[in-house]
Amino acid sequence: MSKASSPSAAARPLVIGGVAPPNAVLLAPMSGVTDLAFRRLAARLGAGLVVSEMVASRELATADDEARLRAEGVGLETHIVQLAGRDPAWMAEAARVAVGAGAAVVDINMGCPAKKVVGGHGGSALLKELDLAVRLIEATVEAVEAPVTVKMRLGWDERSIVAPELAARAEGVGARMVTVHGRTRAQFYEGRADWDAIAAVKARVSIPVIANGDLVSPGAATAMLAASGADGVMVGRGAQGKAWFPGAVARFLATGVAPAEPSIEAQRALAHEHYDGLLGLYGRDVGVRHARKHLGWYLDAAAATAGRPVLADAKGAAMTAPTAETALAAFDRALSELEWRAAA
Ligand SMILES: Cc1cc2nc3c(=O)[nH]c(=O)nc-3n(C[C@H](O)[C@H](O)[C@H](O)COP(=O)(O)O)c2cc1C
């Protein structure tokens, strides 16, 4: 248990349009990671809101199977779909489809640095085309009753920090919240997220601002909120292999006390629950392949809890096993080894 200096800013309730989540800690959209199985688990474990992987707007609007699966939200209390694209008409149509299928909020991706997305001039490429970015937001806002939000980086590079201007213009055309990852596109995931720089966004808008980037311990959330002045925080990689992490951050912000990490046995049970969810979502063959990286992350998280590195062979066995049964058996063996060495 670690004691906080103060629970501070997140005592203010977060409201996004008419949507009032139980707390202001969001699970970040992560392509290939935050599918429905993961989002359900993180929500059950206390994340205030969870956001889908980015979904290509044109594909969703034209009923592509993969896009539909990525936008799936059945069983979630509040479902947020993140759309990517650069064509206002497709964005508007995809937003209608998402809301028609149950999304309570539609988020627009203006931060993805991946070449594939930027090459199609979506994601963070929009940070270089603010007029188009604003038209996209406007078209989406006009298309649906549900609140529309925007997730952005600080700018394309350090010479073009546009997040404050984009956020203000987004608010002007009806966006109900902005999330800012405190890096530029040029940084990809290098260096450190600049939480102070997010304060310049907060100063320009009256809609909620969510701070994102490099939050990996519940205790640091206070500093992130203090530096950014933000109304909430979003966690991405810190939740990989730790679906309980957003909930732990929320507990810390509410009480000033970080909950203890789940025991390794409890982590095992959560990993199995997640694994079953993945098999259910994708079917066994694709599910087994998809789950491999998660098993690796769960082992890394358990190793951190145990204070011992996970044995490379044991991890490799869990991550390459060909079937669900052999993968879970290898995973359990790797965890038992960790527990055994931690106790020795
Ligand atoms: C594997 C991976 C996939 C991501 N996919 C998306 C995405 O689909 N949409 C998006 O807006 N951001 C995406 N991001 C960025 C995260 O949402 C987040 O902004 C970034 O990881 C910084 O937060 P963190 O330091 O807490 O991870 C992705 C990040 C990672 C690591």
- What residue owns the CA closest to ligand 1's atom 11? 109
- Whether residue 3 is contained in a domain is answered as no
- Given this model, what pLDDT does residue 185 score? 94
- Ligand 1 centroid to 234 CA: how many Å? 10
Can you say how many angstroms the Cα of residue 36 is from the centroid of all Cα atoms in its chain? Answer: 12
Cα of 215 from ligand 1 centre, angstroms: 12
Cβ–ligand 1 contact at 237 (below 6 Å): yes
Positions in the chain short of pLDDT 50? 1-8
CB 176 within 8 A of CB 156: no
**The ligand 1 atom nearest the CA atom of 107:** 11
Residue 2 lies in a domain: no
Q: What is the DSSP string of 79-127?
A: -EEEEE-S-HHHHHHHHHHHHHTT-SEEEEEE----HHHHHTT-GGGGG
Q: Does residue 303 share a domain with residue 230?
A: no
Residue 109 is assigned to a structural domain of this protein = yes
Residues 311 and 239 in one domain: no
Asked if 131 and 14 sit in the same domain, the reply is: yes
Task: Write down which residue in 255, 288, 319 finishes a domain.
Answer: 255
Together in a domain, 207 and 315: no
How many structural domains comprise the chain? 2
Residue ranges making up the domain that contains 331: 264-343
Claim to verify: residue 56 and residue 29 sit in the same structural domain: yes
Residue 122 CB less than 6 A away from ligand 1: no
* Residue 41 CA from chain centroid, whole number: 13
CA-CA-CA-CA torsion sign (282, 285, 286, 288) = positive
Q: Examine the domain organization and report whether 55 and 15 are in the same domain.
A: yes
Q: What is the structure's pLDDT at 11? A: 54
| Beta pairing partners, 80 | 51, 105
**For 66-91, what is each residue's pLDDT tens digit?**
999 999 999 999 999 999 999 999 99
Furthest-apart CA atoms within the chain: distance in Å: 62
Per the annotation, the verdict on 112 as an active-site residue is yes
- Among 82, 62, 193, which Cα is nearest to 136's? 82
Q: Which atom of ligand 1 is nearest to the CA of 179?
A: 19
Query: Does the residue 164 lie in any domain?
Result: yes
Q: What is the pTM of this model?
A: 0.95
| Same domain assignment for residues 25 and 143 | yes
Q: Which residues, at least 6 apart from 73, have a Cβ–Cβ distance to it below 8 Å?
A: 36, 39, 52, 79, 80, 81, 101, 102, 103
Domain boundary, last residue among 255, 290, 310: 255
The protein residue with its alpha carbon nearest to ligand 1, atom 14, reads 30
Binding residue numbers = 82, 151, 181, 236-237
CATH code of 215's domain: 3.20.20.70
Backbone CA torsion sign across 170, 15, 230, 183: negative
Cα-to-centroid distance, 344 and ligand 1 (Å) = 38
1 occurs within a structural domain: no
> What residues form the annotated binding site for FMN?
82, 151, 181, 236-237
**One domain, residues 299 and 178:** no
Q: Is the CB of 28 under 6 A from ligand 1?
A: yes
101 and 122 both lie in a single domain: yes
Distances (CA, A) of 167 to 39, 134, 210, 234: 26, 9, 12, 17
Torsion (CA) 50, 208, 9, 54 in degrees, nearest 10:
20
201 & 88 share domain: yes
109 lines ligand 1 (CB under 6 A): yes
Q: Are 11 and 226 in contact (CB under 8 A)?
A: no
For residues 173 and 148, state if they share a domain: yes
pLDDT given for residue 245 in this prediction: 98
132 and 280 housed in the same domain = no
Q: Which of 30, 224, 242 to mutate to test the pocket of ligand 1 (most atoms within 8 A of CB)?
A: 30
Could you tell me if the CB of 113 is within 6 A of ligand 1? no
Of 231, 255, 279, the residue that ends a domain is 255
User: Would you state the pLDDT for residue 114?
Assistant: 80
How far apart are alpha carbons 210 and 207 in whole angstroms? 10
Copy the structure tokens of residue 122.
Answer: 């979506």
Among residues 54, 92, 104, 112, the one annotated as catalytic is: 112
